[in-house]
């Protein structure tokens, strides 16, 4: 009959492996080296998967930010054009008023 260990117990055992080594942990906890190795492999795989998910999330965020920047640059260009037009219109009307006053 095989023993069932909680996830918390496995994580604590892996901390011991880091602190005192595989052999000492196996002796101290009465767990086989093979079991500890399996737990370590599983923990590494989970860590890698988590890192990949985080990287993918970062890539998505970067793409979204790049799109937002493009939209904002487009909007800024439109606003600059509108400002130029308004400046020209203001100059035209100012000149037109001046002509009217001089006449």
pLDDT band at residue 95 using 50, 70 and 90 as cut-offs: confident
Domains of the chain, by residue range, sit at 7-102
Mean pLDDT score of the chain: 91
pLDDT score for 102: 75
Residues of 12-50 as b/e, b for ≥16 C-beta within 10 angstroms?
ebbebbeeeeeeebbeebebeeebbeebbeeeeeeeeee
Q: Does the predicted model carry a pTM greater than 0.85? A: no
């Amino acid at each position: 009959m095989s023993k069932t260990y909680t996830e918390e117990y496995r994580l604590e055992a892996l901390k011991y492996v880091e602190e005192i080594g595989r052999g000492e942990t196996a002796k101290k906890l009465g767990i086989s080296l093979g079991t500890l190795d399996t737990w370590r492999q599983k923990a590494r795989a989970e860590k890698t998967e988590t890192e990949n998910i985080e990287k993918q999330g970062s890539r998505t965020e970067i793409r979204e930010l790049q799109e937002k920047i493009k939209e904002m640059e487009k909007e800024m260009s439109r606003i600059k054009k509108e400002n130029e037009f308004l400046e020209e219109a203001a100059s035209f009307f100012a000149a037109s008023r001046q002509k009217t006053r001089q006449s």
